[in-house]
Amino acid sequence: MIKLMETPMLALQVRRAAEDLGDVIYVHGSTFGADLSVFYSFDGRSWADALKAAGFNVWGFDFAGYGASERYAQHDSVPVGDLRSVQEQLHRVVCAVRERNGGRPVMLLAHSWGGSVALRYAGEHPQALAALALFAPIVTRGAITSASGYVPAAAGTASHYPLTAWAQYRRFVEDVPRGHPQLLDEAHFQHWSTAFLTTDPDAATRTPPAVLTPTGPQADVRALWSGQALYDAARVIAPTLLVRGEWDGVCSEADAANLLADLGGSVKLCETIPRATHLMHLESSRGLLYNAVNAFLRRSAT
């Protein structure tokens, strides 16, 4: 574990590959960090293991407010951890990786709200990136108001909200069509949800047990879905892959098509994973996601 000690402290970890085709930094979504996603093992194997086997050094970190990184103070005034405020955190991580790899550009692999964070970063730091892989990103919907526009949450909005294992379970099942089996079996979910609750040492003190989670990403999603472009896709020139799940209601087919049309680069691809939802990296079709992203990154590295 590497601790980036500037305020806020960020926890960063790496798995190095023998082949060393490049460095992939995982940018997590709004409700759980790297240990519960790219580094989480199902039956003894994680996505990081697959990326390492494909020749990549895999870096994962937690934004402030998640996992092993520093926590925000809790208050009742405004959300914390929104897209704009975490840009500096992602930049610190990218700089830390490039300091260790001789200054080579990195590849970003980002999920959901983390995809929105990565898109803004890619537009502002094109020289730092060799490729961008997004799965289930949050995309601007409606009439776009401004590339820098942002409507703050109303005064009195809490900085955090409690997120239970049951609420996470609903996310795994809500988009699965009626009559189809769930995409993460009960045994795997029980193990995953136990690990989720242990990310907050105070989770067991709440009834029901819950992880205190920053509200900033929720405010970002509301803004994006109200037509506020928190990133300028036209400035993103890195080769980009967008992957969505067939049953994902958060990143729809129209969302994916609109984002691809807006991207400024010449290499922009889209793949759809069958029988998958917004959390496809933890579902039964996760191997298809791994293969699609890993193949794209290998092509981008050569």
274 upstream amide cis, omega within 30 of 0: no
Distance CA(206)–CA(202), nearest Å, equals: 7
Residues 238, 265 contacting (CB under 8 angstroms): yes
Quickly count: other Cβ atoms within 10 Å of residue 12's Cβ. Answer: 20
Sign of CA dihedral 44, 273, 17, 8: negative
Domain ranges of the chain: 2-301
For the whole model, what pTM was predicted?
0.95
Helix (H) or strand (E) holding 166: helix 165-173
Q: Which phi and psi angles does 250 have, rounded to 5°?
A: -85, -40
Among residues 46, 26, 56, 44, the alpha carbon closest in space to that of 301 is found at 56
Pairing of β 240-245 and β 268-273: parallel
Question: Tens digit of pLDDT per residue, the chain (302 long)?
Answer: 899 999 999 999 999 999 999 999 999 999 999 999 999 999 999 999 999 999 999 999 999 999 999 999 998 888 999 999 999 999 999 999 999 999 999 999 999 999 999 999 999 999 999 999 999 999 999 765 544 333 334 444 799 999 999 999 999 999 999 999 999 989 999 999 999 999 999 999 999 999 999 999 999 999 999 999 999 999 999 999 999 999 999 999 999 999 999 999 999 999 999 999 999 999 999 999 999 999 999 999 97
The type of residue at 106 is V
Distance CA 91, CA 120 (A): 11
CA distance 94 to 124: 13
Which residue, among 8, 26, 148, 23, has the nearest Cα to 88 in the 3D structure? 8
Tokens representing residue 211 in the block: 């992880």
Q: Which residues pair with 4 in a beta bridge?
A: 10
Give me the amino acid identity at 252: S
pLDDT tens digit sequence for 56-91? 999 999 999 999 999 999 988 889 999 999 999 999
How far is 25 from 106, CA to CA, in rounded Å?
Answer: 7
Residues 6+ apart with CB under 8 A from 131: 107, 108, 238, 239, 240, 241, 296, 297, 300, 301
Q: What is the 3-state secondary structure (H, E, C) of 15-28?
A: ECCCCCCEEEEEEC
CATH topology of domain 2-301: Rossmann fold (3.40.50)
